[in-house]
Amino acid sequence: MIMRPSRRDLLKAGIGIGASLAFPSASLYAATASLIQRKIPSTGESLPIIGIGTARRYEAVRTEAERAPLREVLRQFTALGGKVVDTAPSYGTAEAVVGDLVTDLAIREALFIATKLGARGRDAGAEQLEQSFKRLRTPRIDLVAVHNLQDTQTQLRALRQWKQADRIRYVGITTSFDRQYPEFEQTMKAEMLDFIQVDYALDNRKADQRILPLAADRGMGVMINLPFGRGRLFTAVQGKSLPPWAEEFDCVTWAQFFLKYIVSHPAVTCTVPGTAKAEYLLDNLGAARGRLPDAAMRRRMERFIDAL
């Protein structure tokens, strides 16, 4: 059953009543119930299944007016129990914006910050990572993943040394390109990795053929990028109502439909939807509450999207 939070509960969570009235009751429910967690296989540390991605909307932020909504997103995210923030040195201003806002809000301890390394050669990699520490304004980064398999072996070797020195906590690799999947799988087989990050969405399910089962076999955490295929899934359902059976897994918006599909895959640890608006944050966190679709329901969701 979806419980409606009281005005007092919402205020306690720091959610403005004016903004919250614009959302369906189940999104408001997101403000008070705790977020579903999954364990990182290599350590057993728990993470909430919905995080935040910072590509694009955090990339060209210059003015206070541009920062203000992002500050509000990060403030509400941590107030509601969110942890995982994914960024990269190649996302323009994103790392610096995250670092500044996290420092202003004094929320570093509450967060799990993931960034990437996209450089060729050991020196260039070290230089880039030092810059990430400075921009993120933190002495320790939770996860650093080799971005899109750039110079993977050299950078993984270096990242392991940073991990040994306790400057980073977890090591991984990322991709969002099908053409990299064979090399990605090879790397997963050959290397010990805490995390992989890969694209996976209700209408883009290639990763579940081999990569997701392999991650489960190898005991690797899985962070999913592009959960909406940027705008693609929203465009596919434009003008359409949610099927009534979405209620069976406590889903009241399309964003929750797409996200609950992803996080109900047993190999998935979390996903990082690009989130730059507080209204989207509340909506997306709703996917980390209530029931998740079971295997049969997941097939039904696939048939639904494939038929559009």
Footprint on this chain of ligand NAP (rule: CB under 6 A): 53-57, 86, 116, 147-148, 174-176, 197, 225-231, 234, 255, 272-277, 280, 283-284
User: Residue 257 CB, nearest distance to ligand NAP (Å)?
Assistant: 11
Of 154 and 180, nearer to ligand NAP (C-beta) is 180
The whole-angstrom separation of Cα 216 and Cα 198 is 14
Half-sphere exposure of residue 197, counting CA atoms within 13 Å on the CB side?
33
Question: How many residues does the structure list for the chain?
Answer: 308
The whole-angstrom separation of Cα 142 and Cα 111 is 9
Of 193 and 276, nearer to ligand NAP (C-beta) is 276
User: Residue 204 CB, nearest distance to ligand NAP (Å)?
Assistant: 10
Of 206 and 294, nearer to ligand NAP (C-beta) is 206
Q: Which amino acid is at 62?
A: R
Q: Which amino acid is at 11?
A: L
Of 255 and 292, nearer to ligand NAP (C-beta) is 255
User: Residue 199 CB, nearest distance to ligand NAP (Å)?
Assistant: 7
- Please state, in angstroms and as integers, the Cα–Cα distance from residue 196 to each residue in 24, 111, 199, 253, 284, following that order: 34, 19, 10, 28, 22
Of 117 and 158, nearer to ligand NAP (C-beta) is 117
User: Residue 97 CB, nearest distance to ligand NAP (Å)?
Assistant: 13
The whole-angstrom separation of Cα 83 and Cα 123 is 31
Helix (H/G/I), strand (E/B), else coil: 92: coil
The whole-angstrom separation of Cα 287 and Cα 285 is 5
User: Residue 54 CB, nearest distance to ligand NAP (Å)?
Assistant: 5
